Structure 1
Amino acid sequence: MQSLHVFIITLLFLFAYSLHQFPFAHALSSSIPTNTSLLLYPTINLGGNSSARLFLQSTSSDTLASFGLYSTDGSVFILCTMMSYYGGYGDSIIGHPQVIWSANRNFPVGRDAILSFTVAGELLLHNAVGTLIWSTPTKDASVAGVRLDGSGNLVLFDRNNVSIWESFDYPTDTLVIGQSLCAGANLTANDSFTSWASGQINIHSSSNGLQFYFGPAAYTQVFQPTSLGNETSDCYAFTNGSFGFPKLVFSLPLARSFQFMRLEFDGHFRLYEMKEAAFHVVLDVLSNEIKFCDYPLACGEYSVCINGQCCCPSSHFFRLQDEWHPDMGCLPRANLSCNDMRYHQLVPISNISYFSDDGFQSLATSATDADCKQSCLEECSCKVALFKYDAPDGIAGSCLHLSQASLLSQTTNSSHRTSAFFKIQGTMKRRTRIAIGSVVGSFALFVTAISIFTWRICKKREEEECFLGGIPGVPARFSYNELKIATRNFSMRLGSGGFGSVFKGKIGKETIAVKRLEGVDQGKQEFLAEVETIGRIHHINLVRLIGFCAEKSSRLLVYEYMGNSSLDKWIFHAHPVFTLSWKTRRNIIMGIAKGLSYLHEECKQRIAHLDIKPQNILLDDRFNAKVSDFGLSKLISRDDSKIMTRMRGTRGYVAPEWLGSKITEKVDIYSFGIVIVEIICGRRNLDESQPEERVHLISLLQEKARCGNLFDLVDTSSNDMQFHMEEVREMMDLAMWCLQVDSSKRPLMSTVAKVLEGVMTLEATPHYDLVANHEPNKSDAKVQICSYLPSATHLSGPR
């Protein structure tokens, strides 16, 4: 029998120069001969809790391929190949490496694991106690060595340098250019964002197409790329610009640097590319094939997907895990307890669609709706009961209990007869509830009587003050004298506007901004709207209303203090001493988008701000943007497509549809587009100090876009923006998308936020129809399109 004895070769290694650095590429070879034990390679700190023990490295262009043991927490390691940004000889790695293949994702090892390369041609990974964790299926004496290619392919080769085994043939969750997914092979996503273990989502390759598979619910879906010919193959090849058969492909953006595709734990198959020393998402490969709500884990636990948005089934019983990331799911406000099952209750949600109808039918059982709900209450593991009625107004149907409260979406089709019953933790027995209900009812009658008596007394006082005191849910109420003292008799003026002045003050240790409304007739509606609207909503990108004052004719609003004042003071500058960087401008745009997305889509009623402009965007000490000034805001019922109201807003920022007085919240999106352009260009939309042909910025933008000269408008005072012109161009395209004259072509604010976050891309270049009533003569369009001068109506802006 051939001896498998392994000879230990001690390999000296250069120490890393500092934390956050990989060893230099020349410090490790790109190949290793057989008879090698890699026990003595040192562990390298990568910054934070990440570390690695590297055995092979290979450079290609500006990327560095590495093979070794890698950990994100310093204790659990996987054997893998990684790709990192590498700026050249002597440069350190920037950012964390991207794992493109792993050997032991389901069986991680400790830092004392041993990797050996035997004379029998096998790579063997043992844990610290000697247990075999993983090996290559290459027990072949002809194997002469192992090498790592610059593309990240780990290859075992013979004496003639012919490949015997390649990691590219055994993909995990990632493909790189030059790699294929052949029939019978799978991509399997990680279990979660923080776990390397195999998850429940797979993409399986076959000659019929790609099969998207989700385990627990037996959900499958087959996708075939667009056919460009009759050729077929058993392998989907990932090449520069395509993924598929030789003439049967998914089209991809051409690679300008290193690219890879990864099936991620949320089910999205994303294409990444290295840009500016980091990896960024450039495409969701299956986005045209799968709608957002059709992804099995689109919205997480206890969440329902509605028209591409993730929502909690009831705000009374559930809350978002993270308001910034609704797709992370919801949490019950009271944790379920199997010890208190007698208190469990069910919250119904109608018109529910389970993401896998096949899975529902195969797993459901026949029952009545009452039996379905009762059996879920009696089964501790049941978190949601799904019931599909056999016929309208019936009680019989199909019942399915879910131990995972996910995979649900809500339809607008009222004929959909499936309901979901979410289990929540109650706190009282039925008799106790009845008793308390009786007490509360009696107390309510008593309060009603007292309220009537109080109302009669209040009526003798000033009507307005009494009414304001009864607004439910408003913040703290201050006396006029308290605010007079807090502002030192209103001596520290911060600024003034159309409805009053703002003063700096201090209550306790908290610095405040006090807005004093001036002009009784004009300020009354302003005051009521602002208190009622912003007093009930809370978001990190909306200015927080601390309190208010209503005494006789005095009306004041108390806000959190914003140290960097309003946005207009930073972007409209005649002689700039300090200009905002591109990163800061981009973050400000992102903050405005998230604040408006919350108002439009996440509140109980849609809220149209109706006065979005730089003066109403305030900046804190870190230049985080917050939307303010809700005096012109309007509540829009979710049942109404449009509302009729008198024209509101500021000249130069109002949308074209105001001319018809029927508007939606998309008037804010138009104003937001104008603000983006002003931030990029560093000037006002309507600037009378400019030459006549340049007074109206949006008309000028339309002209420059048609001529392909958009960069002529970029703020020349910012040198930093000149280094990010590609991002600036993308932002201007986004602005023009928001500025479409036809409001139906403007995106939702949630879509805008996703584009800014990089999880979505602009589907196409927007039409350059940014100014109402502009119709060039068709016969002269080719001649005049780049010499178009806006009319006097256009220059003055919307009326």
Structure 2
Amino acid sequence: MYELVTDLTSCTKMYNISDVPPEVLLGDDIGSDLHSVVAFLGWSKPFCGNCEAENKYCQLKKNSTIQDQTECLDILITQLSSSTTDHEPYIGASSHSHKQVVAGEYIGIIAGVFLLVLVVVSLCLVIRSNIRKKEDQVKIENFLEDYKALKPARYSYADIKKITNQFRDKLGQGGYGTVFKGKLSNDIFVAVKVLKSVKGNGEEFINEVGTIGRIHHVNVVRLVGYCADGFRRALVYEFLPNDSLEKFIPMENQKRVLGWDMLQKIALGIAKGIEYLHQGCDKRILHFDIKPHNILLDHNFNPKISDFGLAKMCSKDQSIVSMTTTRGTIGYIAPEVFSRNFGNVSYKSDVYSFGMLLLEMVGVKKKVDVGASDTSESYFPEWIYNSLDQEKELEIQVEEEDDTKRARKLTIVGLWCVQWHPVDRPAMKTVIQMLEGEDNLSLPPNPFGSTNPMNTGATMFSRTFNSELETISELE
């Protein structure tokens, strides 16, 4: 059956005829010329019979000056051109099959784009992973290089001047000397303590380098290096941006800066640092100057014990330490360091200093003037103990109930640490357990109790304290 099909609206099929030869229908006068057959069938313009006879597509000729002029195109060329044109209909092609071809081409294009995106994303992930690996490798190399610089090294005075940029950035000053901010290679910041004078043939300098130089603990400041260039001596420490704990202990009627949770965290870190000095080193190190000024804070407020100028080293099995002079800071010195009547000097002397530091962190020390004439009646650990025992308010700044529990806990631990006799004080390991444990701690035995205040240990210690204070004042 011959079925002439066109997509052109101007080309209309007039009849359907059976599949018989033209000569049967038209007789001998009409030949097999297809033009004659089409003319007989009644096709109107445009004429596409010649294209159909050659098995080609027929379309209107573009830009033609003659109306209804057609042209023939090969089927393969027409299919290829259809993907880049606006899919103009072709005479003799099936509309349904043409739409299937176009839909298939769209699906192919979408699949190709998806695969391309997938490949690009995969390449980006691989490249990013390689970059991260290279960055990690650089960080490790920088760390190893920086770690070399953190080992105690000896510097000349010229090096110290270069590190501190000619002593430009001053951090603090005291009787020991002046501290400057400095910078090593690879952006490592340090604190340089330039010693004012050398006392006792450089004993403090030797103590500092000899003890802290071998210590590696998260709660002990790291000694980066030192300078011993003639009479000029300096100590180079890691730089801690938040200064000392003393800066964050409020005076009376001042608002508290650090929360109670942070204060407990700091107290626990200090306790772990002292416990390491007592038990974690090859030899036991006694600091003898635990106080807020010597507790430095890093950027996360992790505490680090510093200033080992008064430290002493002894074997771990040595329970008694011989001392010829009093060591420490007034207000934090254990009673036995003043007078052997209270017991022998040992690592428990650091426990006492830590207890006094805890009470100051809580804020109760500032409420009693230790140097007053009525010291025997107002020695503040005794005053605190009596207040807690009688369930009196300590007038501590708290905002929530949990803060009250933490403040009470730190106060009770402090009271355990400031027992008169060293044997009654807990070791730092026990102190750590108390700080990490429950809040409902019991009060220690009362070492201050007496019906006659003149017979109390507080009075004895106060007299010794005042005598020592007067001696120091005369020397100054």
Q: TM class, shorter-chain normalised?
A: 0.5 to 0.7
SS of aligned partner of 1:549:
strand
Aligned to 2:353: 671
SS of aligned partner of 1:640:
coil
String of CA shifts for 1:633-681, please: whole Å, max 9, x gaps. 0112123220111210011111111112841011000000000000001
Write the distance in 2 (CA, Å) between the matches of 1:712 and 1:682.
Answer: 7
String of CA shifts for 1:584-630, please: whole Å, max 9, x gaps. 11111001000001001111111110000101011111111111000
**Aligned residue runs from structure 1 range 10-49, under 5 A:** none
**Aligned residue runs from structure 1 range 291-310, under 5 A:** none
SS of aligned partner of 1:607:
strand
Equivalent residue in structure 1 for 2:327, among 610, 630, 648: 648
Aligned to 1:57: none
Runs of 4+, deviation exceeding 3 Å: 572-578, 682-696, 719-723, 759-762, 774-778, 788-792, 794-799
Deviation, 1:550, is 0.7
Deviation, 1:723, is 4.4
Aligned to 1:513: 191
**Aligned residue runs from structure 1 range 137-176, under 5 A:** none
Aligned to 2:420: 741
Write the distance in 2 (CA, Å) between the matches of 1:725 and 1:691.
Answer: 32
- 1:490 to 2:167 alignment: yes
CA RMSD of aligned residues (A): 3.3
Equivalent residue in structure 2 for 1:504, among 181, 185, 191: 181
Aligned to 1:697: 380
Q: Which has the higher strand share?
A: 1
Structure 1 793/747 Cα, relative in aligned 2: closer, same or farther at 3 Å?
Answer: same
Native 8 Å contact 1:696 1:795 kept in 2: no
Deviation, 1:740, is 0.6
- Name the aligned partner's letter for residue 277 of structure 2: L
Unaligned runs of 5+ in 2: 1-149, 470-476
- Name the aligned partner's letter for residue 492 of structure 1: D
String of CA shifts for 1:66-106, please: whole Å, max 9, x gaps. xxxxxxxxxxxxxxxxxxxxxxxxxxxxxxxxxxxxxxxxx
**Aligned residue runs from structure 1 range 126-145, under 5 A:** none
**Aligned residue runs from structure 1 range 602-621, under 5 A:** 602-621=280-299
Equivalent residue in structure 2 for 1:585, among 252, 257, 263: 263
Write the distance in 2 (CA, Å) between the matches of 1:760 and 1:701.
Answer: 18
Equivalent residue in structure 1 for 2:205, among 505, 523, 527: 527
SS of aligned partner of 2:227:
strand
Deviation, 1:510, is 0.9
String of CA shifts for 1:32-87, please: whole Å, max 9, x gaps. xxxxxxxxxxxxxxxxxxxxxxxxxxxxxxxxxxxxxxxxxxxxxxxxxxxxxxxx
Deviation, 1:708, is 2.7
Structure 1 775/691 Cα, relative in aligned 2: closer, same or farther at 3 Å?
Answer: closer
Native 8 Å contact 1:572 1:683 kept in 2: no
Native 8 Å contact 1:517 1:523 kept in 2: no
SS of aligned partner of 1:650:
coil
Equivalent residue in structure 2 for 1:750, among 429, 436, 444: 429
Write the distance in 2 (CA, Å) between the matches of 1:610 and 1:730.
Answer: 25
Write the distance in 1 (CA, Å) between the matches of 2:253 and 2:171.
Answer: 21
- 1:726 to 2:439 alignment: no
- 1:793 to 2:469 alignment: no
Structure 1 494/522 Cα, relative in aligned 2: closer, same or farther at 3 Å?
Answer: farther
- Name the aligned partner's letter for residue 332 of structure 2: Y
Structure 1 789/681 Cα, relative in aligned 2: closer, same or farther at 3 Å?
Answer: farther
Identity %: 38
Native 8 Å contact 1:570 1:579 kept in 2: yes
Native 8 Å contact 2:406 2:439 kept in 1: no
Structure 1 674/776 Cα, relative in aligned 2: closer, same or farther at 3 Å?
Answer: same
- 1:776 to 2:446 alignment: no
String of CA shifts for 1:398-421, please: whole Å, max 9, x gaps. xxxxxxxxxxxxxxxxxxxxxxxx
Structure 1 760/731 Cα, relative in aligned 2: closer, same or farther at 3 Å?
Answer: closer
Higher Cα radius of gyration:
2
SS of aligned partner of 1:728:
helix
Q: Which has the higher helix share?
A: 2
**Aligned residue runs from structure 1 range 225-264, under 5 A:** none
Compute the TM-score of the two structures, normalised by the length of structure 2: 0.59
Native 8 Å contact 1:686 1:796 kept in 2: no
SS of aligned partner of 2:180:
strand
Deviation, 1:578, is 5.9
Native 8 Å contact 1:681 1:713 kept in 2: no
Number of equivalences: 313
Write the distance in 2 (CA, Å) between the matches of 1:503 and 1:524.
Answer: 21
Write the distance in 1 (CA, Å) between the matches of 2:288 and 2:237.
Answer: 20
Aligned to 1:596: 274
